[in-house]
């Protein structure tokens, strides 16, 4: 694939590497498109100072939108499990794999994302530490919302008051955690000046070879080689 830069005659050859399947991209956007109304409608009920807009018919509609969005939000992982179970298993395995390079990534993340200092960023697999943490929070959140939400929806009158109260608290704590994580995810994926390729990858399913080499060396070079290169550069840090 080639790219002609506007206003120049030079042709820059860019090799694109597939990262996401079409199904993954579609489901990602459906998940995002349902999460946002879930957050907004949930926040209207969560924040007591928003009571004036969560009253009467408006409040009833807010609850209805919350439920409809929740069905689609919960349906996405189910659909993904049915359509691409092997990809899901691959992702889950990756999400649960952590190493000392993740500690190094966490230390280097702030200088990189704020000040643009990339030299201390350690090699990463297909998903970097932040992406994996985001995914884990989202997976836990989806499961928690599913269990607590369905129970509050259909079993409210048959469960004990204490259990219902606990479910409300758990639902809300997870709402805080996932929404905060979503804000960070949105900032890094959409707003951050360095990260435009992550948005491209979720639009077209590919990342450039140079981006993969620089940001996901373990994926690009293979884990062993990427680690050797890192250790050589950083003196066995």
Partner 1 sequence: MPLTRRDFIKITGTGLGATLASGALLSPAQAEGDGPPPDDFAILYDSSKCIGCRACQMACKRWNELPSEPDSALGIYDTPQGLSDSTWTLIKLNKRSEDDWHFFNYQCMHCTDAACVTVCPSSALFKDERGFVALDHDKCIGCGYCTRFCPYGVPHLRTENLLTGSAKAFKCTFCEDRVWGGLGGPFCAETCPTGALVWGQRGDLLDTAKGRVSGLQQQGMTSARLYGETEAGGLHRLSIMFDEPGQYNLPSDPQSPGTARAWQKIIQPLGEVVFGATIVAALGAFLVARRNVRMEGVE
Contact set with partner 1 (CB under 8 A): 45-48, 51-52, 54-56, 59-60, 62-64, 67, 113-116, 118, 153-154, 156-157, 161-162, 164-166, 168-169, 172-173, 175-176, 179-180, 183-184, 187, 191-194, 197, 208, 210-211, 214
Q: How far is the CB of 124 from partner 1 (least distance, A)?
A: 15
Phi, psi of 47 (to 5 degrees): -90, 115
Q: How far is the CB of 87 from partner 1 (least distance, A)?
A: 27
Q: What does the DSSP 8-state code read for residue 125?
A: -
Q: Which is nearer to partner 1, 118 or 225 (CB)?
A: 118
Q: How far is the CB of 162 from partner 1 (least distance, A)?
A: 8
Angle at 128 between CA 125 and CA 130, to 5 degrees: 160
Instruction: Find the DSSP H helices in the chain.
Output: 22-46, 56-83, 85-95, 100-115, 129-154, 161-186, 196-204, 209-215, 217-221, 223-234
Q: Which is nearer to partner 1, 95 or 112 (CB)?
A: 112
Contact between 43 and 51 under an 8 Å Cβ cutoff? The reply is: no
Q: What does the DSSP 8-state code read for residue 208?
A: E
Question: Closest Cα to residue 168, out of 32, 42, 38?
Answer: 42
Q: Which is nearer to partner 1, 8 or 157 (CB)?
A: 157
Q: How far is the CB of 202 from partner 1 (least distance, A)?
A: 17
Q: How far is the CB of 58 from partner 1 (least distance, A)?
A: 8
Q: How far is the CB of 89 from partner 1 (least distance, A)?
A: 31
Looking up tokens 């957050």 gives 39
Q: Distance between CA atoms of 228 and 219, rounded to whole angstroms?
A: 14
Neighbours of 40 (CB within 10 A): 13
Q: Which is nearer to partner 1, 126 or 215 (CB)?
A: 215
Q: Which is nearer to partner 1, 8 or 86 (CB)?
A: 8
Q: Which is nearer to partner 1, 100 or 156 (CB)?
A: 156
Secondary structure (H, E, C), 1-24: CEEECCCCCCEEECCEEECCCHHH
């Amino acid at each position: 694939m080639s790219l002609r830069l506007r206003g120049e005659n030079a042709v820059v050859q860019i090799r694109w590497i597939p990262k996401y399947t079409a199904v993954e991209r579609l489901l990602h956007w459906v998940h995002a498109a349902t999460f946002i109304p879930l957050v907004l409608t949930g926040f209207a009920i969560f924040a007591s100072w928003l009571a004036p807009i969560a009253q009467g018919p408006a409040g009833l509609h807010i609850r209805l939108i919350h439920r409809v969005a929740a069905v689609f939000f919960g349906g996405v992982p189910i659909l993904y499990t049915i359509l691409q179970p092997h990809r899901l298993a691959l992702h889950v395995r990756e999400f649960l794999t952590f190493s000392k390079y993740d500690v190094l990534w966490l230390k280097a993340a702030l200088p990189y994302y704020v000040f643009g200092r990339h030299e201390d960023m350690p090699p990463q697999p297909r998903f970097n530490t932040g992406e994996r943490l985001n995914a884990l929070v989202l997976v836990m959140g989806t499961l928690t919302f599913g269990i607590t939400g369905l129970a509050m929806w259909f079993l409210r009158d048959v469960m004990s008051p204490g259990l219902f109260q606990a479910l409300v608290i758990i639902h809300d704590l997870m709402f805080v955690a996932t929404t905060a994580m979503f804000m960070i995810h949105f900032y890094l994926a959409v707003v951050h000046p360095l990260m435009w390729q992550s948005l491209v990858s979720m639009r077209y399913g590919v990342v450039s070879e140079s981006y993969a080499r620089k940001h996901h060396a373990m994926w690009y070079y293979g884990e062993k080689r990427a680690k050797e290169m890192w250790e050589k550069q950083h003196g066995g840090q």
